[in-house]
């Protein structure tokens, strides 16, 4: 019987075929054995520019356009002390896993060979790191080459019997290194670069030595480099096998995580719950998690229950028994205050929950026990495992108190704590040699690990952003914290711009393809109204009376989709950025300057392409008809809100432009009234504006924004345009229209506020519909205190859901509703220069009016959903970054000054209260211990929201109360952080 | 499919065959000894996509392939049992047990066994394919039935498929005869199935207890369904084999060929298993000279030889259709063995199919012969052990 198996002897090509066998588990629970044949080849180039053999004798692989892919590795790579002849690096998987930051350095790590096996392993272990490595391989100047070692005959390594996968992969790496060495050694006449394997695995290094391969550990290699000392900090602590002490069970501070399969089983069967872990901004020991099984979030209290979860992680929790249910804390617990003066070196602290933390908890228990009503306790849970870490790079600064004296002088490695800017992130233990240099700087760090035996997570230093409180450092810190892409646009993006640059003009000839299907609206009296100094003018308006007594009103939006074609590099970049981010002194554009501030911007006196929405309206602002068209316009004037307001108010101005603005104003007021009648909410958030000194752009004053009629004029017509466009694109694309919805907030969100209003003012907040809410908010007035209404609105705004972009196919029509605007359907159309969603809406509208064909990317639901998800996140981050920027500048404007201002109590705790100062739009916590030298005794009545102090200072504070506070700035000596500090002067 | 096709032999040839097989020692047409199997060649692992596979060729040209595929399946539970982790409801279970104890001890034990360790016969799905026959052909179905019976008889096999209280492996055995059925294929299919099961590996379980199963993605780590002794690399316990045995006259003949079957008096399919559990105890009694296996009888099926399928000729004189009803009515001659002889007398040199059921004594002897320590079953298992199944 001849064997049916493929035999090596009989088949001449057998050596070129290998196979790979593994087990695949599918999501549905199927388990399959997969056998893949691997066809080995000899024509995969080494990609070294030195290698003549590969360049000439081989068919060079071509890219999609048929152009040969250029060779990557330099012909004169940099040398080090040990390899003066130059070298190529071959890192193993662990090197990338532990020190990706190193590879992203500009000063070193060029000419790197990324083996396929390493890349694949990295993808399995960490997708974010994989993506970072991929972007490195794409950058031309770093010269990273992916070598498909598994497919090249000479470097393919079949797995030996009894060999573990890891050992086999290590062997494959060594084999590839050896092959590269032999392959390049054949080059004649030139000095050949050394091939250096980078690995932290002792065993691998030892074997490499035996096989005569150049190999270094990361640390050894970095020491050979010029600025090695600094880079050394970026290598995380290596957990060498022999370094790990035999840990006694008692040494583990945290409970062990469940196995992945146990968690998955539990989650599937609803015994455990999965969700995103959130830390309370007021209490770092209190977290909450929203899980699909329950309408309200579960509480997670205390270090042990939080069990090494960090804000944003996807975790699995177990609900605790009822006797451990608690009330959410009414106390403010801040990490820096409580764990101050901890010694980062002393890891073997006997008690895991520190004395101070314990005390804080005791208070808690006392309070719970003193309660007569048990009904208030909320279900609590504990974290039993982490599905996915959401660790990123964190901005922070070194806690001065954690630095030992010796560390400030010497250059030996020392442990310090880094306090992240984000209060929700625990402090990070960092080992560094440059303590003295990094003190007082904003630094970027990453978390590497959080062991069961370590109280705090450990991380490593990435780079320094600069001195604390310098504008550059703080701005960059903000951008990094909110993940804003602020690097300059790459060349590929700039290549997509029109070649004419700033000289681009609307073509003169009407025969030009640019004029195809475009309406000529150049003779209309169009003007734009924007904030002062606005350069990216998205929108312009016009109105004119019609013979039948109605009005024609037009909204003209910059035609960005004409310049940004779907699918090109600029479009990809814009879809990633998602939105333009406005900081006080800086704007980070979504589109390159040329488009944003010139070619697309509807500047006055020049012709521009636009996308116009034109309505016919009755004098009562009822819409008779609407149409959409691409157009060419010429704006007559660019007004600021203030200018426009002055012009409208000045009755001597009777020219046509001014009259048309007056018409618009009159119509907008009617539109607004209609909207309010339909139940639109008028919400509020404290808005301020920082005034800068023009030369140095140092902040000099803070102003609250004044509301002008012209602002709501523009707003109303933009809302109208958005709604009209939303209807149109939904009609054309019922499955794929990009829309924006604002979900009705769950009733429970308002429970607290409604109760507060009821108890304190006897006011009823009805939340059945947006109309009811709007009406009841209108009733929330206090004759003596005009600001009370605004205060309630600010607090109500915080109970709302956030609006989101979505793809119409993913929701049922009733869910489209925009709660805040009380509109059935809504989208964003009017700011395509600064929002990607608007650009998508433009493309869809253009397709809907048959101006152009539908591009696949605006039609594929999967892609649109991904885009929506991204822009929702970006939008939120941009808002947060903007607010944080204002907060920082407000702090800077107050620097060195002390002012007394009126404020209002917004939130009350048993050991402090939060005051909002409308003048500056800031809120700050005042603790009881700040009230007087000796912390006064206090009695907290949680039911009535009253805090009464006795002893060293006697005050009675209650919710919504007006207070007088002294606002100063203060730099906390231990944390090096400047913040607004408020002191209570008196309670009204 | 019948146990054999029509053999194109004349009554005289059949008679000759019958008498030569009845000699002591019998003379078999191919010169084998009564207990000798046809030579075979075998290999495993021929289908890379399966969990285990094997192929056997007999020297006469018959050839079979068996592939084994495994799938994870949720175990059916009692309707009121919706617990996940047994430790969570331990207390509750105890209570239940107490209740059950009051109801009746026996029932409780049976139920518990089923709950904790037992398997179910529908965890194995076995299909047989014989070229030229429909898969619902009675012969094919019967073959499949015999093969699966051997596997399921003592419940030991399905226990191997248990993952935890909530999940089990479902095994699909595809048994294919790829040559035309030159002889009754039962022994061939059984041996190939045996080898395929020996070569079968199931992905390594990583999860613990009653969690949803979660497996190691490394195939090299996958354990064998029949575990190997780590020291000797030998299989500790082996899957069952089904042997085809026939009796002619006083002789017992193993692995009969097509022609031999045509003249068989009795044909038995005997499934034996390797009783590993009994092995340890029994070893003590047995002296070292007889290092055989401890065999366990799993099932017996009688297979109709072709002779049984042809109705015997009945003399007109004894045929009721010819007016001899009264003979039937008295029934006297039927009870008397002599009466048969009067019906038709054996004529020397002319083949006459045997009539009547197999004698219990013969059956007993057949089974005895199969199960004897160091006997044919042992030889077969030893021979199969020589096949590389890794």
pLDDT at A634: 92
pLDDT at B80: 63
CA-CA distance, A59 to A74, in Å (whole number)? 20
The answer, yes or no, to whether residue A689 has pLDDT greater than 80, is no
pLDDT at A861: 87
pLDDT at B329: 47
pLDDT at B115: 47
Inter-chain CB proximity B218 and A261 less than 8 Å: no
Q: Which residue intervals of chain B are DSSP H helices?
A: 11-22, 90-103, 105-116, 138-152, 156-159, 186-199, 258-262, 276-285, 306-309, 325-330, 332-335, 337-343, 360-371, 376-385
Q: Is A529 exposed, middle or buried (0-12, 13-18, 19+ CB in 10 A)?
A: buried
Ranges of beta strands (E only) in A705-795 are: 738-741
pLDDT at A829: 93
Indicate the SS3 state at residue B83.
coil
- The two three-digit tokens of residue A823, written as one number: 């509109």
**A741 DSSP β-pair partners:** A804
**Beta strands across the sheet bearing B241-248:** B251-254, B241-248, B266-274, B295-303
**A283 DSSP β-pair partners:** A333
Inter-chain CB proximity A5 and B43 less than 8 Å: yes
Question: How far apart are the CA of B85 and the nearest CA of chain A, in angstroms?
Answer: 9
**A959 DSSP β-pair partners:** none
pLDDT at A244: 44
What is the Cα A321 distance to its own chain's centre? 36
A31-44 pLDDT per residue, tens? 889 998 889 988 88
Q: Mean pLDDT across chain A, nearest whole number?
A: 83
- The two three-digit tokens of residue A826, written as one number: 């809504």
CA-CA distance, A283 to A302, in Å (whole number)? 10
Question: How far apart are the CA of B212 and the nearest CA of chain A, in angstroms?
Answer: 5
Count CA atoms closer than 13 A to A812's CA, side-chain side: 1
CA-CA distance, A536 to A601, in Å (whole number)? 5
Inter-chain CB proximity A259 and B50 less than 8 Å: no
Asked if residue B25 has a cis previous peptide bond (ω within 30° of 0), the answer is yes
Inter-chain CB proximity B203 and A33 less than 8 Å: yes
Phi (first) and psi of residue B254, to 5 degrees = -95, 155
Q: Which of A68-82, A740-754, A965-979, B147-161 has the lowest mean pLDDT?
A: A965-979
Q: What string of DSSP letters covers A75-112? A: SS----SS-TT-EEEEE-HHHHHHHHHHHT-SSS--SE
Residue from B301, B278, B300 nearest B373 by CA: B278
CA-CA distance, A735 to A717, in Å (whole number)? 27
Chain B interface, Cβ < 8 Å to A:
41, 43, 45-46, 48-51, 55, 57, 63, 70-72, 84-85, 88, 203, 206-220, 222
The answer, yes or no, to whether residue A919 has pLDDT greater than 70, is yes
pLDDT at B360: 84
Inter-chain CB proximity A30 and B72 less than 8 Å: yes
Q: Which of A314-328, A471-485, A967-981 has the lowest mean pLDDT?
A: A967-981
Q: Which of B166, B220, B221, B233 to mutate to test the interface with A (most CBs of A within 10 A)?
A: B220
CB B222 within 8 A of CB B203: yes
* CB of A321 less than 8 A from some CB of B: no
**Average pLDDT over every residue of A864-878:** 91
CA-CA distance, A741 to A721, in Å (whole number)? 16
CA-CA distance, A355 to A127, in Å (whole number)? 40
Cβ neighbours of residue A410 under 8 Å, at least 6 residues apart? none
Residue of higher predicted confidence among A57 and A679:
A679
Instruction: Calculate the alpha carbon distances from A217 to A45, A149, A230, A572, B28 in Å.
Output: 27, 22, 16, 38, 75
CB A308 within 8 A of CB A385: no
Residue from A201, A211, A196, A273 nearest A239 by CA: A201
Inter-chain CB proximity B217 and A261 less than 8 Å: no
* CB of A123 less than 8 A from some CB of B: no
A724-779 pLDDT per residue, tens? 999 999 999 999 999 999 988 888 888 888 888 888 888 888 888 888 888 888 88
The answer, yes or no, to whether residue A373 has pLDDT greater than 50, is no
* CB of A853 less than 8 A from some CB of B: no
Q: Which of A404-413, A453-462, B122-131 has the highest mean pLDDT?
A: B122-131
CB atoms closer than 10 angstroms to residue A791? 21
Radius of gyration from C-alpha coordinates of chain B: 25
Q: Which domains does chain A have, with CATH numbers?
A: 53-232 (3.40.50.1010), 252-349+374-468 (2.40.50.690), 491-509+516-672+682-738+820-884 (no CATH), 894-987 (2.40.50.140)
A183-237 pLDDT per residue, tens? 888 887 677 888 999 998 888 899 999 988 889 888 888 888 877 777 777 777 6
CB B167 within 8 A of CB B212: yes
Instruction: Calculate the alpha carbon distances from A399 to A234, A347, A417, A424, A473 in Å.
Output: 19, 17, 5, 16, 18
Question: How far apart are the CA of B228 and the nearest CA of chain A, in angstroms?
Answer: 15
Question: How far apart are the CA of A209 and the nearest CA of chain B, in angstroms?
Answer: 28
Between A and B, how many residue pairs show a Cβ–Cβ distance under 8 A? 85
* CB of A25 less than 8 A from some CB of B: yes
Phi (first) and psi of residue A335, to 5 degrees = -65, -45
A512-538 pLDDT per residue, tens? 888 888 999 999 999 999 888 888 899
DSSP A14: G
DSSP A503: G
Residue from A43, A24, A26, A25 nearest A35 by CA: A24
Count CA atoms closer than 13 A to A492's CA, side-chain side: 11
Indicate the SS3 state at residue A239.
coil
Q: Which of A336-345, A828-837, B24-33 has the lowest mean pLDDT?
A: A336-345
Question: How far apart are the CA of B221 and the nearest CA of chain A, in angstroms?
Answer: 9
Give the confidence band of A966 by pLDDT, cuts at 50, 70, 90: confident
Instruction: Calculate the alpha carbon distances from A911 to A333, A948, A957, B227 in Å.
Output: 9, 10, 12, 66
Cβ neighbours of residue B130 under 8 Å, at least 6 residues apart? B1, B137, B139, B140, B143, B177, B181, B185
Please give the helix or strand (H or E) that residue A203 lies within, else none: helix A202-210
Residue from A507, A522, A543 nearest A632 by CA: A522
- The two three-digit tokens of residue A260, written as one number: 């992945």
CA-CA distance, A905 to A923, in Å (whole number)? 9
* CB of A4 less than 8 A from some CB of B: yes
Q: Which of B48, B178, B199 to mutate to test the interface with A (most CBs of A within 10 A)?
A: B48
CA-CA distance, A198 to A792, in Å (whole number)? 60
Residue B222: closest CA among chain A residues belongs to which residue? A23
Say how many Å lie between the first and final Cα of chain B, rounded: 34
Prediction ipTM score: 0.76
Give the predicted TM-score (pTM) of the model: 0.69
- The two three-digit tokens of residue A341, written as one number: 């003066």
- The two three-digit tokens of residue B258, written as one number: 């097509």
Indicate the SS3 state at residue A196.
strand
Q: What percent of chain A has pLDDT over 70?
A: 88
Q: Which of B46, B51, B206 sits opposite A33 (nearest CB)?
A: B51
Mean pLDDT in each 10-residue stretch from start to end of chain B (390 residues)?
A: 62 88 89 88 90 90 93 80 54 47 43 56 91 87 91 86 89 93 89 93 86 84 87 81 89 89 88 68 42 81 75 62 54 47 62 74 88 85 81
Q: Which of B41, B206, B212 sits opposite A29 (nearest CB)?
A: B212
* CB of A36 less than 8 A from some CB of B: no
CB A51 within 8 A of CB A183: yes
In chain A, residues with a C-beta closer than 8 Å to the C-beta of B84 are 265-266, 269, 271
Give the confidence band of A354 by pLDDT, cuts at 50, 70, 90: low
CATH architecture of B11-76+120-310+353-385: 2-Layer Sandwich (3.30)
A534-588 pLDDT per residue, tens? 888 999 999 999 999 999 999 999 999 999 988 888 898 899 899 999 888 888 9
CA-CA distance, A596 to A581, in Å (whole number)? 13
A576-629 pLDDT per residue, tens? 899 999 888 888 999 999 988 889 999 999 999 999 999 999 999 999 999 999
Cβ neighbours of residue A948 under 8 Å, at least 6 residues apart? A938, A939, A941, A954, A955, A956, A957
The answer, yes or no, to whether residue A696 has pLDDT greater than 70, is no
Residue from A378, A376, A371 nearest A941 by CA: A371
CB A965 within 8 A of CB A984: yes
pLDDT at A423: 81
């Amino acid at each position: 019987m001849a064997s049916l198996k493929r035999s090596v002897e009989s088949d001449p090509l057998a050596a070129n075929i290998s196979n790979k066998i593994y087990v695949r588990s599918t999501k549905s629970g199927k388990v399959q054995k997969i056998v893949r044949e691997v066809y080995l080849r000899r024509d995969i180039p080494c990609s070294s520019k030195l290698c003549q053999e590969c360049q000439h004798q081989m068919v060079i692989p071509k890219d999609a356009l048929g152009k040969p892919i250029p060779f990557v590795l330099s012909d004169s790579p940099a040398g080090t002390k040990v390899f003066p002849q130059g070298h190529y690096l071959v890192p193993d998987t662990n090197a990338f896993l532990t020190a990706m930051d190193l590879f992203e350095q500009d000063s070193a790590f060029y000419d790197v060979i990324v083996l396929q096996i390493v890349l694949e392993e990295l993808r399995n272990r960490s997708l974010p790191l994989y993506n970072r490595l991929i972007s490195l391989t794409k950058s031309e100047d770093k010269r990273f080459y992916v070598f498909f070692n598994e497919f090249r005959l000479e470097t393919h390594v079949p797995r030996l019997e009894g060999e573990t996968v890891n050992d086999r992969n290590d062997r494959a790496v060594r084999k590839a290194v050896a092959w590269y060495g032999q392959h390049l050694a054949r080059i004649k006449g030139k000095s050949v670069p050394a091939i250096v394997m980078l690995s932290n695995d002792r065993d691998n290094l030892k074997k490499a030595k035996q096989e005569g391969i150049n190999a270094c550990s990361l640390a050894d290699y970095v020491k050979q480099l010029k600025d090695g000392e600094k880079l050394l900090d970026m290598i995380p602590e290596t957990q060498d096998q022999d370094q790990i002490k035999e840990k006694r069970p008692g040494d583990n501070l945290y409970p062990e995580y469940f196995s992945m399969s146990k968690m998955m089983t539990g989650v599937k069967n609803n015994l455990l719950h999965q969700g995103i872990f959130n830390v309370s901004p007021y209490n770092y020991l209190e977290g909450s998690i929203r899980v699909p099984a329950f309408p309200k979030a579960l509480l997670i209290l205390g270090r042990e229950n939080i069990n090494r979860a960090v804000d944003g992680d996807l975790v699995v929790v177990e609900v605790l028994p009822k006797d451990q249910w608690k009330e959410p804390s009414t106390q403010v617990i801040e990490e820096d205050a409580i764990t101050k003066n901890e010694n980062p070196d002393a890891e073997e602290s006997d008690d895991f929950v520190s004395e101070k933390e314990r005390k804080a908890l005791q208070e808690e228990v006392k309070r719970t026990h003193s309660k007569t009503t048990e009904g208030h306790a909320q279900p609590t849970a504990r974290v039993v495992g982490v599905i996915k870490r959401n660790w990123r790079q964190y901005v922070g600064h070194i806690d001065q108190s954690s630095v030992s004296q010796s560390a400030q002088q010497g250059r030996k490695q020392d442990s310090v704590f880094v306090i992240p800017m984000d209060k929700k992130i625990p402090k990070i233990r960092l080992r560094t040699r440059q303590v003295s240099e990094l003190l007082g700087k904003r630094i970027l760090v990453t978390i590497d690990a959080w062991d069961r035996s370590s109280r705090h997570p450990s991380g490593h230093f990435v780079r320094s952003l600069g001195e604390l409180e310098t504008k550059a450092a703080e701005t960059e810190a903000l951008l990094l914290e909110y993940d804003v892409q602020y690097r300059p646009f790459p060349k590929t993006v700039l290549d997509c711009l029109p070649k004419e640059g700033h000289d681009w003009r609307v073509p003169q000839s009407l025969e030009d393809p640019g004029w195809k299907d475009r309406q000529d609206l150049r003779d209309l009296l169009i003007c734009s109204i924007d904030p002062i100094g606005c350069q990216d003018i998205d929108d312009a308006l016009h109105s004119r009376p019609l013979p039948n007594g109605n009005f024609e009103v037009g909204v003209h939006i910059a035609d960005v989709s004409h310049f940004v074609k779907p699918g090109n590099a600029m479009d990809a970049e814009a879809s990633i950025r998602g939105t333009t981010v406005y900081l006080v002194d800086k704007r980070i554009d979504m589109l390159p300057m040329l488009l944003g501030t010139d070619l697309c911007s509807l500047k006055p006196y020049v012709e521009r392409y636009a996308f116009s929405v034109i309505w016919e309206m009755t004098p009562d602002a009822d819409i008779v008809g609407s149409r959409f068209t691409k157009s060419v316009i010429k704006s007559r004037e660019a007004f600021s809100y203030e200018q426009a307001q002055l012009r409208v108010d000045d009755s001597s101005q009777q020219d046509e432009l001014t009259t048309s603005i007056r018409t618009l104003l009159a119509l907008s007021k009617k539109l607004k009234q209609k909207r309010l009648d339909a139940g639109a909410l008028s919400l509020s958030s404290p808005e301020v504006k920082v005034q800068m000194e023009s030369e140095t752009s140092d902040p000099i004053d803070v102003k609250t924004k004044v509301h002008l009629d012209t602002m709501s004029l523009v707003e109303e017509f933009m809302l109208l345009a958005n709604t009209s466009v939303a209807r149109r694109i939904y009609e054309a694309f019922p499955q794929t229209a990009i829309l924006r919805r604002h979900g009705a907030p769950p009733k429970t969100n308002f429970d607290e506020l409604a109760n507060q209003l009821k108890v304190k003012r006897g006011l009823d907040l009805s939340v059945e519909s947006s109309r009811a809410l709007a009406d009841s908010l209108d009733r929330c007035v206090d004759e003596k205190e005009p600001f009370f209404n605004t205060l309630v609105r600010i607090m109500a705004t915080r109970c709302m859901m956030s609006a989101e972009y979505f793809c119409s196919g993913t929701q049922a029509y009733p869910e489209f509703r925009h709660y805040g605007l009380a509109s059935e359907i809504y989208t964003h159309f009017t700011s395509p220069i600064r929002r990607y969603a608007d650009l998508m809406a433009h493309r869809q509208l253009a397709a809907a009016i048959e101006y152009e064909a539908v591009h696949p990317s605006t039609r594929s639901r999967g892609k649109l959903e991904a885009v929506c998800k991204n822009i929702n996140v970006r939008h939120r981050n941009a808002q947060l970054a903007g607010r944080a920027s204002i907060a920082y500048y407000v702090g800077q404007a107050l620097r060195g000054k002390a002012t007394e201002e009126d404020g209002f109590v917004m939130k009350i705790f048993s050991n402090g209260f939060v005051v909002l100062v409308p003048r500056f739009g800031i809120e700050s916590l005042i603790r009881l211990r700040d009230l007087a030298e000796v912390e006064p005794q206090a009695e907290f009545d949680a039911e009535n929201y009253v805090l009464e102090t006795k002893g060293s200072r006697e005050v009675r504070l209650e919710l919504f109360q007006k207070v007088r506070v002294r606002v100063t700035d203060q730099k906390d000596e231990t944390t090096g952080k400047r913040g607004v500090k408020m002191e209570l002067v008196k309670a009204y | 499919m019948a146990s054999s096709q029509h053999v194109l032999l004349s009554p005289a040839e059949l008679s000759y065959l019958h008498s030569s097989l009845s000699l002591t020692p019998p003379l078999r047409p191919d010169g084998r000894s009564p207990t000798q199997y046809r030579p075979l060649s075998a290999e495993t692992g021929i289908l890379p996509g399966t969990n285990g596979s094997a192929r056997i060729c007999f020297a006469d040209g018959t050839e079979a392939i068996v592939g084994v595929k495994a799938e994870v399946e949720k175990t059916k539970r009692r309707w009121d049992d919706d617990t996940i982790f047994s430790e969570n409801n331990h207390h509750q279970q105890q209570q239940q047990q107490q209740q059950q104890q009051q109801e009746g001890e026996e029932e409780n034990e049976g139920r518990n066994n089923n709950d904790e360790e037992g398997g179910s016969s529908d965890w194995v799905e076995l299909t047989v394919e014989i070229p030229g026959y429909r898969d619902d052909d009675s012969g094919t179905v019967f073959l499949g039935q015999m093969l699966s019976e051997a596997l399921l008889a003592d419940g030991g096999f399905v226990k191997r498929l248990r993952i935890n209280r909530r999940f089990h492996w479902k095994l699909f055995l595809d048994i294919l005869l790829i040559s035309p059925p030159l002889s009754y294929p039962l022994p061939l299919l059984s041996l190939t199935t045996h080898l395929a099961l020996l070569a079968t590996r199931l992905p390594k379980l990583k999860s613990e207890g009653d969690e949803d199963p979660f497996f190691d993605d490394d195939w090299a780590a996958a354990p064998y369904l029949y575990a190997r002794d780590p020291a000797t690399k030998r299989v500790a316990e082996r899957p069952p084999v089904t042997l085809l045995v026939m009796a002619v006259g006083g002789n017992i003949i193993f692995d009969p060929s097509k022609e031999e079957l045509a003249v068989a008096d009795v044909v038995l399919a005997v499934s034996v298993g390797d009783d590993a559990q009994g092995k340890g105890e029994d070893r003590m009694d047995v002296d070292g000279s007889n290092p055989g296996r401890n065999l366990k009888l799993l099932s017996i099926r009688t297979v109709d030889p072709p002779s049984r399928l042809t109705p015997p000729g009945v003399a007109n004189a004894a045929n009721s259709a010819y007016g001899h009803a009264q003979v039937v009515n008295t029934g006297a001659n039927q009870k008397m063995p002599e009466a048969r002889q009067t019906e038709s007398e054996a004529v020397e040199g002319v083949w006459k199919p045997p009539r009547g059921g197999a004698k219990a004594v013969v059956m007993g002897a057949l089974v005895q012969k199969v199960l004897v320590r160091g006997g044919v079953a042992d030889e077969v298992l030893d021979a199969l052990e020589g096949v590389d199944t890794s």
